[in-house]
Amino acid sequence: MTFLRKSETTRAAIIERALDLASHEGLEALTLGSLADSMKMSKSGVVARVGSRETLQLAVLDDYRRRFEAQVLRPSTSRPPGLPRLRLLFEMSLAQVGEGRTAGCFYISCAAEYDDRPGALRIEVSSSVAAWREAFERSAAQAVALGQLASDTDPAQLVFEIYALLLAAQHDTRLLERSEGIAHARAGFERLLARCLPSDKATIAP
Amino acid sequence: MTFLRKSETTRAAIIERALDLASHEGLEALTLGSLADSMKMSKSGVVARVGSRETLQLAVLDDYRRRFEAQVLRPSTSRPPGLPRLRLLFEMSLAQVGEGRTAGCFYISCAAEYDDRPGALRIEVSSSVAAWREAFERSAAQAVALGQLASDTDPAQLVFEIYALLLAAQHDTRLLERSEGIAHARAGFERLLARCLPSDKATIAP
């Protein structure tokens, strides 16, 4: 029993370290050997706990999915539907972009890495990103249905533009090392919403 | 003489193939061995023409930089400064995103790959992307100076949002396989400009 618990802890610690490495170097650069070195374990010890390299990569994505659900998707459902939920989704997503531990949002890093690599990892990344986008689109559609946004607002177009701001915030912060990326994204979001206000509303309740 | 020309042609053909491979698999996944296999050449033959792996990777970026200058940056300077130039820069950049041969804009693919990998390749990618952004920012600032955009327009904020649309177009087209990404980006661009019009203008001359 104690042994089982210890081995479970070790597996969780290995996956966590693997996420750290993959978020900086890329998920494709992750190898069982480099992970074992970084954990000061034998490669066979790592294999015994996480299996093959692809099983490990999938476990890393699964670990991030659980974090992302807990930190981004679930908190937003505690807010009323529509605009309040859309706002929280944006803020929590932006917090992922600014997250130093995982070197920004791990899905955004993985998107470019897997967009042209068919296989199980690509399916996992694209379905997680699609679920994230759907959460945004649901909230935008609810905001329109509730009259919080103008009735001619196209939720898919609006969410494309919101998501674009998140991608650019990560790009500018990380590649160009421009610290104003997060502030630019926030200002862009406010102007996007202002543009979509119903004509009888002057301000948006946060 | 003939031999020299032939060897130059071979080098150019090798770099071109390397760009093809790198744009699909990632520049980090490019190896001298895989390139040699793909060219049906010996690895030593490839090394003799392109040097080390990093020299090859830098040559690939240099090759793309020359294409990018010829296809995106230089055509825009043939247009009058300000809005016409900004529009052409956007259209030509969007054409790179939709470019099938290089699997989208190669700089955007490289951005996520190198944002956390210090070294010569990261410097090359980030300085090329910064030059691209500066071309946009110069045109936006000129559009403001010429009264084509409202005087309170912040060129850095506007260009952040324009660039965001390009990133999202590439993301949606490639990872999510949503063909409407390019149209969404174009619609977002028109609305961005419309928002920045001086109050005395109802429409924007293309």
The CATH number assigned to the domain holding B124 equals: 1.10.357.10
Residue B161 domain flag: yes
**B195 Cβ neighbours under 8 A, 6+ residues apart:** A191, A195
Partner B contacted by A186 (CB < 8 A) = no
Residue B63 domain flag: yes
Partner A contacted by B150 (CB < 8 A) = no
When pLDDT is averaged across residues B105-112 and rounded to a whole number, the result is 93
Partner B contacted by A113 (CB < 8 A) = yes
Q: Tokens 């403001």 label which residue?
A: B144
Report yes or no: A113 and A26 within 8 Å, Cβ to Cβ: yes
Q: How many domains does chain A have?
A: 1
Nearest to B174 among A115, A168, A175 (CB): A115
Report yes or no: A203 and B202 within 8 Å, Cβ to Cβ: no
- Looking at residue A69, the DSSP 8-state letter turns out to be I
What pLDDT is stored for residue A64 in this prediction? 96
Residue A38 domain flag: no
Q: How far apart are CA B108 and CA A112, in angstroms?
A: 8
Report yes or no: B157 and B164 within 8 Å, Cβ to Cβ: no
Q: What band does B5 get if pLDDT is binned at 50, 70 and 90?
A: low
**Residue A105 in 3-state DSSP?**
coil
**Opening angle at CA B22, ends B18 and B28, nearest 5:** 115
When pLDDT is averaged across residues B188-206 and rounded to a whole number, the result is 80
When pLDDT is averaged across residues A110-127 and rounded to a whole number, the result is 94
Q: What band does A2 get if pLDDT is binned at 50, 70 and 90?
A: very low
pLDDT tens across A139-172, in order?
Answer: 999 999 999 999 999 999 999 999 999 999 999 9
CB contact under 8 A, B129 and A176: yes
Partner A contacted by B134 (CB < 8 A) = no
When pLDDT is averaged across residues B27-48 and rounded to a whole number, the result is 93
Report yes or no: B79 and B41 within 8 Å, Cβ to Cβ: no
Partner B contacted by A136 (CB < 8 A) = no
Interface-testing mutation among A90, A158, A161, A192, with chain B (most B C-beta atoms within 10 A) = A161
ipTM: 0.92
Structure-token pair, residue A179:
């610290």
Q: How far apart are CA B193 and CA A143, in angstroms?
A: 25
Partner A contacted by B48 (CB < 8 A) = no
Q: Looking at chain B, which residue has its C-alpha nearest residue A173?
A: B115
What pLDDT is stored for residue A156 in this prediction? 97
CB contact under 8 A, A129 and B167: no
**Residue B205 or residue B18, greater confidence:** B18
Interface-testing mutation among A30, A109, A115, A197, with chain B (most B C-beta atoms within 10 A) = A115
Taking contacts as CB-CB distances below 8 angstroms, the residues of chain A near B115 are: 103-104, 109, 171, 174-175
Q: Looking at chain B, which residue has its C-alpha nearest residue A27?
A: B113
Q: Looking at chain A, which residue has its C-alpha nearest residue B121?
A: A175
What pLDDT is stored for residue B187 in this prediction? 98
Q: How far apart are CA B206 and CA B200, in angstroms?
A: 17
When pLDDT is averaged across residues A189-202 and rounded to a whole number, the result is 87
When pLDDT is averaged across residues B130-157 and rounded to a whole number, the result is 97
Taking contacts as CB-CB distances below 8 angstroms, the residues of chain B near A99 are: none
Closest C-alpha to B176, from A167, A19, A73: A167
Nearest to A160 among B26, B111, B184 (CB): B184
Structure-token pair, residue A33:
């050997």
Chains A, B: CB contacts within 8 A come to 122
Rg value, chain A, Cα: 20
pLDDT tens across A67-102, in order?
Answer: 999 999 999 999 999 999 999 999 999 999 998 788
Partner A contacted by B155 (CB < 8 A) = no
For A155, the domain range is 62-195
Burial class (CB in 10 A: 0-12, 13-18, 19+), B96: buried
- Residue B93 corresponds to which amino acid? S
Nearest-CA distance A8 → chain B (Å): 31
Report yes or no: B149 and B83 within 8 Å, Cβ to Cβ: yes
CB contact under 8 A, A26 and B171: no
Structure-token pair, residue A20:
């750290």
pTM given for the model: 0.93
Q: Where are the alpha helices (H) located in A83-154, listed in sequence order?
A: 83-97, 106-114, 120-145
**Residue B55 or residue A5, greater confidence:** B55
- Within 10 angstroms of residue A118's Cβ, the number of other Cβ atoms is 8
Structure-token pair, residue B73:
């940056």
CB contact under 8 A, B29 and A28: yes
Residue A72 domain flag: yes
Nearest to B157 among A108, A171, A187 (CB): A187
